[in-house]
Amino acid sequence: MPHLSMLRSYTWADLLTIGNAACGTLAILLCLESLAEQNPACLWYAMGLLPLALALDVADGYVARLDRRRQSRLGADLDSLADVISFGVAPAVIGYALGLRGGWDIAVLTYFVACGVSRLARFNVTASALADQATGKVKYFEGTPIPTSVLIVALLAAATWAGRTGPDLWLGAVRLGPAWLHPLVLVYAASGSAMISATLRIPKP
């Protein structure tokens, strides 16, 4: 296999994808900063970065379609890795930082990230089979795309705006056996389950 020079192999679309990953990484670090320094402003910045990550995710596909003469060798894998950070790990960490810290909450957040990883892996493996033979374009998504997790972040932003974080989270908390569960975390369980669903078929724009 020929040597792959990282910098020279990047296309403009790849650079947008790297920007997506950077937004997700910064969001995670800002959540850690908010917990370490008790600085709620960091959480607002973290939540604000994810819509920017989504915009970059949409833009990289658009730019890649414009520049068909130079196909990226890294594009598909790079996009999946960036999406795991920005739309899998980062939303889970934001939820944790806002108060979803019970034992069952952590299990659900882990399940959500695992579903996101699995969904992206399935897409990469099945993309060629799902593609239209004439255009090569994937016709539909199996399961909800992982960037839909931005909707969860929007819900958490609304809770933050209303002052319903930490012990005041919407729907409260219940003790189930050895650990606590905040019912609000079930939106992550629903999102993760929808991502790995084999019956949900969503047309790809």
98: in domain: yes
CA–CA–CA angle 171, 160, 51 (5° rounding): 115
pLDDT given at position 47:
98
Q: Supply the pTM of this predicted model.
A: 0.88
pLDDT given at position 22:
98
133: in domain: yes
pLDDT given at position 190:
97
pLDDT given at position 139:
66
50: in domain: yes
What is the residue-level pLDDT of the chain in tens, covering all 205 positions?
455 555 556 787 888 999 999 999 999 999 999 999 999 999 999 999 999 999 999 998 787 677 666 566 666 778 899 999 999 999 999 999 999 999 999 999 999 999 999 999 888 777 655 555 555 566 667 789 999 999 999 999 999 999 999 999 999 999 999 999 999 999 999 999 999 987 777 766 5
Domain of 71: which CATH number?
Answer: 1.20.120.1760
pLDDT given at position 56:
95
pLDDT given at position 90:
98
pLDDT given at position 69:
61
Burial string for 136-151 (b: 16+ CB within 10 Å, else e) reads: eebeebbbbbbbbbbe
Place of tokens 């569960």: 181
69: in domain: yes
pLDDT given at position 1:
43
Both tokens of 99, joined, read 């108060």
In the chain, the number of structural domains is 1
Long-range contact set of residues 104-107: C-beta below 8 Å, sequence gap at least 24: 104/176, 104/179, 104/180, 104/181, 104/185, 105/180, 105/181, 105/182, 105/185
Indicate the DSSP class of residue 1.
Answer: -
Query: From CA 149, how far away is CA 93, in angstroms rounded?
Result: 12
1: in domain: no
The parent domain of residue 61 ranges over 6-203
CA 139 distance to own-chain centroid: 21
Residues in CB range of 83: below 8 A, 6 or more apart: 20, 57, 116, 120, 146, 147
